[in-house]
Copies of this chain bind each other. A is one copy, B any other.
Amino acid sequence: MKNLRLAVRESRPRTVIDVCGVAVGRDFVVIAGPCSVESEEQMMASARAVKAAGADMLRGGAFKPRTSPYAFQGLGLRGLKLLARAGRETGLPIVTEVIDPRDVSWVAEFADVLQIGTRNMQNFSLLKEVGRTGRPVLLKRGMYSTLEEWLNCAEYILSEGNPNVILCERGIRTFERYTRNTLDLSAVPAIKELTHLPIIIDPTHSTGRLSLIPPMSVAAVAAGADGLIIEVHHRPEEALCDAAQALTPAMFTDLMGRLRPLCNFMDGLPE
């Protein structure tokens, strides 16, 4: 991993990022919520549901990078405000994607964590801009990118003076068609030996199948991941994007009931 300076494992102790009291990199963290912010009712209902199930942070997209220009592109500022309100009312820190360097500074006023999506992993202007804010950044792996390229993107953020980078494996593009992408869970121990930064797993976009989300979430805990980011919608069948892969509140609650005991058990296992 030539060229890495600040991201490289040996350069410092494991990074722990404080997000409004949630210690990413120390505690196992679950981020949950809908793909996109759609309405006040949807956002509030989803937020309350994930809070009740024990989520640590709330996600929701106000700017959606969509394959087609004619697809729903998100509610923008209005969406951000709804998300922020849902975060305040439930006491959950909020995570939201930013896709344009011109939006970074004002989105950072609302967001507790700025998300960089898989299509923008190598949008270097955007990386530098979020690097300048100091806000924690959730950096998704490009669906086409090697671990080395990914860590270099983290380095772009770190080198602007922002040490708060959370990596997120979300599946890579392969020939397999049963799953939407192929979740590269071996990235977890690989990243742990290459860098001091925390890494979480996105079981939703990687598998793209409801039935595979719970087992891969459980496997992520066992592989040593620092957390999960999961799509949960209070009424998935009405979702404006990714409807087929959002967990219902009941499914999410069941999953959390399995994750927490496993986290405790794993903490007690010998290294």
A53 in the interface (beta carbon within 8 A) = no
Shortest distance between the CB of A232 and any CB in chain B (Å) = 19
Copies of this subunit? 4
Complex-state Cα separation, A219 to B192, whole angstroms: 15
**Chain B proximity mask over A68-79: 1 for CB below 8 Å, otherwise 0:** 111100000000
Q: Quick check: A178 and B216 within 8 Å, CB to CB?
A: no
Within 8 A of B (CB), among A43-79: 65-71
Q: Quick check: A124 and B178 within 8 Å, CB to CB?
A: no
- Measured CB to CB, the nearest residue on chain B to A173 is B175
Which of B143, B155, B178, B222 contacts A147, CB < 8 Å? Answer: B178
Q: Quick check: A147 and B120 within 8 Å, CB to CB?
A: no
A89 in the interface (beta carbon within 8 A) = no
Complex-state Cα separation, A3 to B72, whole angstroms: 12
Shortest distance between the CB of A54 and any CB in chain B (Å) = 15
Q: Quick check: B186 and A69 within 8 Å, CB to CB?
A: no
**Could you give 14 example pairs across A and B, Cβ below 8 Å?**
A65-B124, A67-B152, A68-B152, A120-B123, A142-B144, A146-B176, A179-B186, A179-B190, A186-B212, A186-B216, A215-B222, A215-B223, A219-B222, A257-B270
